[in-house]
Chains A and B, each alone.
Chain A
Amino acid sequence: QSDLTQPPSASGTPGQTVTISCSGTSSNVERGTVHWYQQVPGTAPKLLIYGDHHRPSGVPDRFSGSKSGILASLAIGGLQSEDEATYFCAAWDDVLNVPVFGGGTNLAVL
């Protein structure tokens, strides 16, 4: 069981918008900043969103992050087949004194 809770799966059709949730606690998501990673099978994770809603250079603006209280969200707009991957959220936990990760959400583009 992961410290941050994500739905195990999500799906959408090309062009749709999909939102993936990440639920934590006051000691991690609410108090810290949330990062999102995309992982294609067999490859290393790639940073998509940092500091709750900032995009690194090269990440399309179809990807956006938000946070309210203990709940963070990743929205993927204009869904494309290449977006099929597993998405993880992460945040520092002030009580455990380690970063905590979500279990990952497998996104299928139907």
Chain B
Amino acid sequence: HLQLQESGPGLVKPSETLSLTCAVSGDSISGSTYYWGWIRQSPRKGLEWIGSFHSRGSNFYRPSLKSRATISLDTSRNQFSLRLTSLTAADTAVYYCAKMGQSTHWAPDQWGPGILVTVSS
């Protein structure tokens, strides 16, 4: 049974960098044929895909976030991470990690419970 769990800070200051981790259990990221990624949700912007990656090295990012977002893999811990730099209040959202569905790199079929991140001084 696949489970995903986000962890990280709930409050980050403007201009700082956000680092979130997604722990995966019930499947191996390195051996998986699926994409894994991050999506965020805010009242102002709704659901917003951030990016996805495949263990074979293929990555996709939202164009407007590509310069600030990095998704990386830690196979030894079976987890993956999101790093988002130069935060502003507009980055305040619930962040979800997700496993993407078969034959798609962007549409989740399994989600973590989400973590609320607030950007404020």
Residues of A within 8 A of B (CB): 2, 35, 43-47, 50, 56, 88, 90, 92, 96-99, 101, 103-104
B49 touches A98 (CB 8 A): yes
B113 touches A44 (CB 8 A): yes
B109 partner residues in chain A, CB cutoff 8 A: 47, 50, 56
17 additional contacts, CB 8 Å, given A90-B47, A92-B106? A35-B107, A44-B111, A45-B96, A45-B111, A47-B101, A47-B107, A47-B109, A50-B107, A56-B109, A88-B47, A92-B107, A98-B49, A98-B62, A98-B106, A99-B107, A101-B48, A104-B46
Tally of contacts, chain A with chain B, CB under 8 A:
45
Say yes or no: A45-B47 contact (C-beta < 8 A), given A92-B106, A97-B63.
Answer: yes
B51 nearest CB neighbor, chain A only: A98
B112 partner residues in chain A, CB cutoff 8 A: 44
Name the 5 nearest CB pairs between A and B, nearest first.
A44-B111, A101-B47, A99-B106, A47-B109, A99-B49
Can you list 17 A-B pairs, Cβ within 8 angstroms, ordered by A? Answer: A2-B46, A35-B101, A35-B107, A44-B96, A45-B111, A46-B111, A47-B101, A47-B108, A50-B104, A90-B107, A92-B107, A98-B63, A98-B106, A99-B49, A99-B106, A101-B47, A101-B48
B46 touches A103 (CB 8 A): yes
Which residues between 22 and 75 of chain B lie within 8 Å of chain A, taking CB atoms? 46-49, 62-63
B111 partner residues in chain A, CB cutoff 8 A: 44-46
CA A17 – CA B114 in complex, angstroms?
Answer: 31
A104 partner residues in chain B, CB cutoff 8 A: 46
B106 nearest CB neighbor, chain A only: A99
A43 partner residues in chain B, CB cutoff 8 A: 113
A2 partner residues in chain B, CB cutoff 8 A: 46
A50 touches B101 (CB 8 A): yes
